[in-house]
Amino acid sequence: MNLSGPRIGITFLSDGIGRTLWEERDVVVGSFVSQFGWHKEKRFLSSKNGATALTEWILLVGGLDQGALLPSVNWLVGFRTAKGIECAADPNLTPAGSAMAAAAGMR
């Protein structure tokens, strides 16, 4: 099963990131920005009950809904249950700096 493909979502930006974008890049956006991108995953451990450990790369462009171009790269490590519930966390890199990324959802 290949679950790689296009992704959409929203991202919450802290006040500090908003200030950095405004002061260093002259970009003004709200606390939430839309995200559009591509997701690539690789399973590296599967159990007989269907649970899976995985690593994911997600390339995103955010802020287009607000006239901004905010690219980001995310590398996540997490797990998915047999019922498709997934959670993952790890680093996020953007021109505004680095942060922790966390994701959750269902396939």
The CA distance from 27 to 43, in Å, is 37
**Full-model pTM:** 0.77
- Per the DSSP assignment, residues forming a β-bridge with 41 are 56
Q: How many CB atoms neighbour CB 86 within 10 A?
A: 20
Per-residue model confidence as pLDDT tens digits over 7-57: 998 888 888 888 888 888 888 888 899 999 999 999 888 889 889 999 999
Largest CA distance in the chain: 52
The total domain count for the chain is 1
Cβ neighbours for 16, distance < 8 A, ≥ 6 positions apart: none
- Its domain, for residue 88, covers 5-106
| pLDDT grade for 94, boundaries at 50, 70 and 90 | confident
